[in-house]
Amino acid sequence: MFEKIKDTYQEIFKSYDDPSIEKHIKKIIEIDTYLPYSSTFFCITNTQDLTFEYISKNMKACLGYDVNTLKNGGMRYFWSRMHPDDIEHWLKALNGLMDFTLGEIKIEDRAKVTYTWNYRLKNEKDEYVNVVQNTTPLEFDTEDKPIIGLAHYTVLHPDLNMQVCASAKLLNEQNEYETIYFSNFSQKLLSNSISNRERDIIRLLVLNHSSKSIADKLNISPNTVDTHRRNILKKLNISSTGELIGMLKMNQNLI
């Protein structure tokens, strides 16, 4: 299975052109010095040679790994700690995201996209925890494929039952992220009937935005927002926005 993972990455990023990332690493190191410890750490990832160019100090607090172990082992070591039941879904998620990027996202828009997916990973104590990874491309190769990324990893309690999902969001002209891709790779759920536009409206409702505010952010009319709200409640068979928000807190995979 590991060879399959390695071959997938090397095929996707075979046109790597040795981009310069020193300026990004320098700024990340500066920021990391002042950030508090939390359940999130970040890395600068190089998906051509499968290395971590930089690992933030929170990694030790989140997973317990020695920084040098992760630096020396790179992505190969990281992948070897993944739950075996999640690997196939995770591979499908990565391939789905890459196919969508190369086939559906304009070259000039690729620097405005952020990607999210999740999996279970074994920590230093050999206990599996849930990891949600969000990666934003920093550099692209000569064929405009993303190869250097800023990856944020949020570590969640192992008792949470999380299906492997993947999404892509594009920063629009109103400086708001809009969902342009979402798929659940563990199983097909009722929430898969929710459209990408409805997913964004749900996310903004949870952040306490009004219909007018949501309309401004997504460049649609307040009436359209209200229509989407009614459709969301109908699809999920719930009666109010308050119930929707409570449901979301129990099932983060919805968005």
Q: Which backbone phi and psi does 68 adopt, to 5 degrees?
A: -65, -35
* pLDDT at residue 250, as a whole number: 52
Which helix (H) or strand (E) segment holds residue 250: the answer is: helix 241-250
* pLDDT at residue 12, as a whole number: 46
Q: What angle do CA 42, 198, 162 make, to 5 degrees?
A: 45
* Rg value, the chain, Cα: 19
Which phi-psi region, left, alpha or beta, contains residue 64 (left: φ > 0; alpha: ψ -120 to 50)? left
Domains in the chain: ranges and CATH: 2-187 (3.30.450.20), 188-255 (1.10.10.10)
Positions in the chain whose pLDDT score sits under 50? 12-13, 15-16, 18-19, 189-190, 254
Q: How far apart are CA 19 and CA 98, in angstroms?
A: 19
* pLDDT at residue 35, as a whole number: 63
* pLDDT at residue 190, as a whole number: 46
